[in-house]
Amino acid sequence: MRAPIYMSPGTYRRALVLASIIFSITVISLVTSDHAAYSNHRRPPTTSWSFPSGETPGQMKAKECPLESSYLRRHQNSLTREIVYHSHCIRLSDTELAQRNVVADINVPLLERGRIIDRQGSCEEWKPTHCNTIDLKVPRPFPTQKYPQLLFGLATSYDRLLDSLSQLTHWLSGSGARLVVIIIDANNHASELGRLLHLFRSHDIDLVVAPPWADGSLGANEQHFTILRDMLNHLTPDTKWLGIIDDDTFFPSLYPLATLLADRDHTKPAYLGALSDSLDALQRHGMMAYGGAGAFLSISLAEQIEPKIESCLKSSPSPQGDALLKNCIANQTTTELELLPGLNQLDIMGDPSGFYESGRYPVSLHHWKSWHHNPVDLMAKTTELCGSCMMQRWRFGSDTVLSNGYSIVQYKDGIDLEELEHTEATFDWSHLYEWSLGPLRNKTEPRLKKKYQLVDSEMVGGTLRQLYLHRAEDFGSVEYSSGKLVSKSDKVARDELVELWWDWSKLLAR
**Stretch 376-403: mean pLDDT, rounded?**
95
The pLDDT-based confidence of 92 (bands split at 50, 70, 90) is confident
* Domain stop point among 294, 323, 339: 339
Q: Choose the weakest-confidence range: 73-87, 379-393, 406-420.
A: 73-87
- Whether residues 273 and 415 share a domain: the answer is no
pLDDT digits over 364-385, tens only? 999 999 999 999 999 999 998 8
Residue 250's DSSP bridge partners are: 365
The pLDDT-based confidence of 473 (bands split at 50, 70, 90) is confident
Integer Cα distance of 211 and 233 in angstroms:
12
- Whether residues 227 and 102 share a domain: the answer is no
- Whether residues 423 and 478 share a domain: the answer is yes
- Whether residues 159 and 124 share a domain: the answer is no
* Local structure of 163: helix, strand or coil: helix
Query: Nearest Cα to 164, choosing from 151, 177, 179, 175?
Result: 179
CB 346 within 8 A of CB 369: no
Residue 249's DSSP bridge partners are: 366
* Local structure of 321: helix, strand or coil: helix
Instruction: Answer whether residue 362 is part of any domain.
Output: no
- Whether residues 200 and 132 share a domain: the answer is no
- Whether residues 401 and 285 share a domain: the answer is no
For the cut 60, the answer to whether the pLDDT of residue 424 exceeds it is: yes
Instruction: Answer whether residue 374 is part of any domain.
Output: no
- Whether residues 301 and 409 share a domain: the answer is no
Instruction: Answer whether residue 465 is part of any domain.
Output: yes
Instruction: Answer whether residue 230 is part of any domain.
Output: yes
* Domain stop point among 320, 339, 358: 339
Q: In terms of residue numbers, what domain contains 434?
A: 58-139+392-510
- Whether residues 124 and 235 share a domain: the answer is no
Instruction: Answer whether residue 359 is part of any domain.
Output: no
Instruction: Answer whether residue 445 is part of any domain.
Output: yes
Instruction: Answer whether residue 42 is part of any domain.
Output: no
Per-residue buried b or exposed e for 357-373, using 16+ beta carbons within 10 Å of the residue's own CB? bbbbbbbbbbbbbeebe
Q: Model-level pTM?
A: 0.83
- Whether residues 118 and 160 share a domain: the answer is no
- Whether residues 183 and 135 share a domain: the answer is no
- Whether residues 328 and 405 share a domain: the answer is no
> What is the pLDDT of the chain when averaged over all its residues?
83
The pLDDT-based confidence of 19 (bands split at 50, 70, 90) is very low
Amino acid (one-letter) located at 214: A
Query: Nearest Cα to 87, choosing from 496, 384, 506, 393?
Result: 496
The pLDDT-based confidence of 85 (bands split at 50, 70, 90) is confident
Instruction: Answer whether residue 311 is part of any domain.
Output: yes
Q: How many domains does the chain have?
A: 2
pLDDT digits over 238-270, tens only? 999 999 999 999 999 999 999 999 999 999 999
pLDDT at 125: 61
pLDDT digits over 198-226, tens only? 999 999 999 999 999 876 778 888 999 99
Integer Cα distance of 67 and 293 in angstroms:
38
Handedness of CA 146, 148, 149, 153 (dihedral sign): positive
How many Cβ atoms from other residues are within 10 Å of residue 198's Cβ? 10
% of the chain with per-residue pLDDT over 90: 63
- Whether residues 296 and 438 share a domain: the answer is no
